[in-house]
Structure 1
């Protein structure tokens, strides 16, 4: 808001400065052509009418200043006034195009928000005795959705979850994420085994993906005091014990990413990890661990995992995301999703 106020007053400040410099320089030097900067700057933040008003103010300043310098009807001053009028007209057109672009961008953002609500639905903040936190940051500045995906559903077989990362970016990645999420939401209710859910996801992607595209993903199920996972080439989650001890939940037999099932035959095998009272499990996509600072150092997630201790899952993830953005010193270059499960101490 402060920068917007500065831009709105900038044309008048510039024209006042030009007038003062012209007064101080005397009649030997004429700076009136610089008044064209007023309407030029006005097009950056103002509307068409405001830009026209700034142009009129520039002409109103030019006339008495020209009279003072005895150049009112000279060829040079006439050219200056024509220049002010021409720049004002061009700035009015630029302002109109800018406003049109802003309206289109606002419409795109509304569509993106609607798509996000459909594609990436809000996850439940509580699943039994497990509390859930979610953080999602899209690498695209113009949208809130990208190639990372997540879901938590309560089924007759228990609470099941999915987190994944689609190869590539843009609309193609969003479309692939929609296929994976749709297949998971159906298979999670139908299939009793996590490996069979993976088969359903693989079959869905085989009908849509071309070439060597793939999706890394983890399919999980929450049990009493345990967590079952099937890892399809995705970064392993971090298990953070109540005492602060942290380690990765590495799969004993990692499966290939989804979409590459033609290179592997068989059902992916799951594995269990203890998940007891006070424990936290942090799922994340590679946009988190591959984020770099200006010197090229990767984000040390394992070292910063302590940030998720001692707070509610959502507040903990918000703090971790703020630390991630501070590490990069700017916008993230890849989508970054984090899902935090906290089993309350009994």
Structure 2
């Protein structure tokens, strides 16, 4: 099963979803024999069959490469036996071909082992990604949602952006944020914040208390990291915390921790939510009079009215800071406004996410400088 998955992911040449890596070396072998026979003694290239195992090593598996090694040896001996007067074969040529085939087979074994190691690493990365950014069921918490996450490191596939939806007895809560920096340290901080949100977001009745718990968590995480002797203990995170209160339609409560304000997208156009007065998570102790732990009295909850069918669009700075070749930032609100004006169906979360993610990739030419998350939610009718 793993080998089949390996060939499916890394197969260079495929025909009808089957590996056809054997085709180029076979064509090369037949071509060498045909040219060598057709040119006579004036242009002798039968020893070029030594190239065939090398091509097979790059495109085929170990056993196929070994089979091509045997085939070229048989071909070389057969050509010599069938045309003794035309060819002047030497034992040194035969030895060269045999040695080249063995080295090609060894190189193929090393290549396949490396690809299997890469596949295992991708499996681990995928598990981490699904743990940090867990899949969200359709209609989760009474919300229609869509999300796209694009890692700047395409091999890592996970970074410091995070999001989640948490239904609770008090409504449904949504969190989106971006941890400062990159690498495993950012992933670790994001996982810590999400773990706190999933617990506090369910149990705490007050949204401000959930925000305070997030602040305390990232401070605790930073202290632990510093005790481990690492130099990334001063990480902070921008975030937006939302609540759709139970039994109250047409409103959303918002806590903004220094993040880009969400956009409200509806048939009537696009507007931005108030930016709020919060500072990023992890920097609360810098606010004058914040109190112990840097959280007391600093979490401000704003209530915003929503019209029926309006969608909240949340993004990380990978969207707003995406640049084109001329250095121009991606005009998010303008792009969304044009899309909605051209097609009112673009207010649907999955369409809206597609418009933004495709627009960012097109604007940046596919060169993402930072992790990019596009997240859209609206209340199910």
Q: Shift of residue 61 of structure 1? A: 2.9
* Structure 2 counterpart of 1:148: 161
- 2:89 is aligned, of 68, 72, 80, to 72
* Structure 1 counterpart of 2:77: 63
SS in 2 for 1:246: strand
Q: Shift of residue 320 of structure 1? A: 4.0
Give the alignment's Cα RMSD to 1 decimal: 2.8
Inter-CA distance 101–155: structure 2 relative to 1 (3 Å threshold):
same
Q: Shift of residue 329 of structure 1? A: 4.0
* Structure 2 counterpart of 1:342: 378
Q: 1:163, 1:218 within 8 Å by CA — same for their partners in 2?
A: yes
Distance 1:44 1:344 in 2: 52
Q: Shift of residue 129 of structure 1? A: 5.7
TM-score, normalization: structure 1? 0.86
> Structure 1, residues 11-64: CA drift from partner, whole Å, max 9, x if none?
112222333333344322332343222111111231111001111222233334
Inter-CA distance 127–237: structure 2 relative to 1 (3 Å threshold):
same
* Structure 1 counterpart of 2:274: 250
- 2:256 is aligned, of 231, 239, 247, to 231
Q: 1:242, 1:280 within 8 Å by CA — same for their partners in 2?
A: no
Q: Which moved more, 1:160-169 or 1:120-129?
A: 120-129
Q: Shift of residue 85 of structure 1? A: 1.8
Q: 1:15, 1:58 within 8 Å by CA — same for their partners in 2?
A: yes
Question: Number of matched residues?
Answer: 339
| 1:314 matches 2:338 | no
SS in 2 for 1:92: helix
- 1:47 is aligned, of 42, 54, 61, to 61
Q: Shift of residue 102 of structure 1? A: 2.7
In structure 2, the gaps of 5 or more residues are 1-7, 15-19, 223-231, 291-297
| 1:213 matches 2:228 | no
In structure 1, the gaps of 5 or more residues are none
> Structure 1, residues 303-340: CA drift from partner, whole Å, max 9, x if none?
33255751642354245434443444446443222211
> Structure 1, residues 198-245: CA drift from partner, whole Å, max 9, x if none?
2221211112224432111111112421222222222221111222x1
* Structure 2 counterpart of 1:120: 133
* Structure 1 counterpart of 2:361: 325
> Structure 1, residues 89-140: CA drift from partner, whole Å, max 9, x if none?
1221222222222333333333333333332222243256642222223333
